[in-house]
Amino acid sequence: MAKRPALGRGLDALIMMDDLRTEGSSSINEVPLSKIQPNPDQPRRVFDEEALRELAVSIKQLGVIQPITLRKIDDENYQIIAGERRYRASMIAQQKTIPAYIKTADDENVMEMALIENIQREDLNSIEIALAYQNLIETYNLTQEQLSERIGKKRTTIANYLRLLKLPAGIQMAIRDKKIDMAHARTLVTIEDPAVQLEVYELIMSEDLSVRKVEEYVRAINKGDTLEEIIQEKEVVNLAKKGNINQATPEEFDILKKHLSKFFDAKVQLSCNDKGKGKITIAFSSDEELERIITKFDQIKK
């Protein structure tokens, strides 16, 4: 496959490519809305209805300030390359025509141009970008590296977006609706079990967890801890930090004992009176076990 210019400089770089021929590029055409069709491969899937109505009011008063970009699909009809939001708002405003530039482009370039135009304007959410990348890769049999060269994005960036499509549908919808951000999503992807991904997502939503806190939870999960154990341990540790360990319930003491036993790989007894005084006993049955416990303490010091 011949190497093509990168598109990272934006839509203008695409329009100026040698293999795109322009028609009427020095003037703006008034095109009847009735002759315009949306692009079925438009990467943007979500249109804010309230924002469209606000734009429609502006168009009624001032007209369309920035022309949309079209391509001819036959002698009478056009397809949108860029500017579907302005087209939709003009329809709401009951306009008859819309100012437009007319370009000649093949299907592949149309999709690339629509993707770049939306990304440059920050109009796409992360899931829409991921789906657009996947569509380009599958439709034109591209590798991630080839797509990287064509759209001027790092291959790792493309890979990070594509990984979002492995998340459960509920989480993808939350990303689309911007309930969680890309950093949260990238952390969730590192969990293998979709059911656990959903559990952590629900915790993010209910506790408003920071990305850093989610990363801590995910590291513990990937080491073998369950989310329930992590939460329970956190509660007990918080009590201890506040000097309120004597307020812990018997169940919380049991959880703490289990975690200590697991950490030292030995039987641990824990007792505490009403004043918060008590002791922790770690049992061992041989010199080897004692040596292993001492090694654990050395690790804590480090």
Contact 29, 69 (CB under 8 A): no
Residue that is written with structure tokens 């307020």 in the block:
247
CB 132 within 8 A of CB 115: yes
How far is 257 from 263, CA to CA, in rounded Å? Answer: 10
CA–CA gap between residue 117 and residue 111 (Å, rounded): 10
Give the residues across from 269 on adjacent strands.
281
Give residue for tokens 């056009």. Answer: 78
**Residues in the chain, total:** 302
Residue 31: CB atoms within 10 Å: 20
Catalytic residue among 84, 112, 117, 128: 84
Question: CA-CA distances (angstroms) from residue 172 to 37, 154, 165?
Answer: 28, 22, 7
Token pair listed for 38: 């949306």
- Known catalytic residue: 84? yes
| Contact indicator for 104, 72 with CB cutoff of 8 Å | yes
Q: What are phi and psi of 32, to 5 degrees?
A: -60, 135
Q: Are strands 21-23 and 278-282 parallel, antiparallel or unpaired?
A: unpaired
Active site residues: 84
